[in-house]
Amino acid sequence: MSTEDLGSEMEAKCPVCESENTKITQKILDFPHFPQMWFYNLMCSDCHFKYNDFINLAVNEPVRYGYLAENKDDYTSKIIRSSNGTIRFPSIGAILEPGPKADGFITNIEGMLRDFQGKAKFLLRDATTEEEVSRINNFIEMIEEHIKNNLPIEIIIEDPFGNSSIIPFDQSKLKKQQLSQAEAEKLKTGLMIFGGTDRTSE
């Protein structure tokens, strides 16, 4: 992966506290097998609000990517998730949908599973019944088993603006499908910030 800076930092107004003490940095990222991605970062020094996002500079149609991870190498496949991306692991019933506080990130399949595991551990602290505790613990243990033994697991990423993607270890196993307008409209969207304006999910 190569990176190209788009110049020095720019000043902007924070969309949360409206402070002028806010910086924007932008970079172009080149990923194997994929077009250039524009990386956008906003950070406010006063209220500490920060926001990341990715924009695909070549493709913007609604898209669904699918990948079946079957071994240790597959688990290293990278995930690029924009603020509008939905991530699903159907076989374990895990889903990450965008909301008003969603932003973009880069991780891999193992990292995404660890993130779900961490969120489950957080929920465990608020569990009030034995049934809830047992169900959450079973979920945590199931994820640990997948990571430890690299069990087969399918990941699906959907994005109504085409800005999320999977950088696969094995390109031949990556499935890409354009979503219909009706399918795209059913997906949730997150926060988008451009020039001081914002768009939030309904």
- pLDDT tens-digit series, residues 35-63: 677 888 888 898 988 888 877 777 678 99
- Report pLDDT digits (tens) over 148-196: 999 999 999 999 988 899 999 999 999 999 999 999 999 888 654 444 3
Q: Is 185 exposed, middle or buried (0-12, 13-18, 19+ CB in 10 A)?
A: exposed
**CATH number for position 137:** 2.60.120.1040
How many structural domains comprise the chain? Answer: 1
Q: Which domain holds residue 146?
A: 59-194
- pTM of the entire predicted model: 0.77
Distance, CA of 133 to CA of 119 (rounded, Å): 14
Residue 83 in contact with residue 191, Cβ under 8 Å? yes
- Within a domain: 87: yes
- Within a domain: 145: yes
Q: How far is CA 111 from the centre of its chain?
A: 11
Tokens representing residue 91 in the block:
């076989």
- Within a domain: 155: yes
Backbone phi, psi, residue 139, to 5°: -65, -45
- Within a domain: 43: no
Provide the pLDDT confidence category of residue 202 given band limits of 50, 70 and 90.
very low
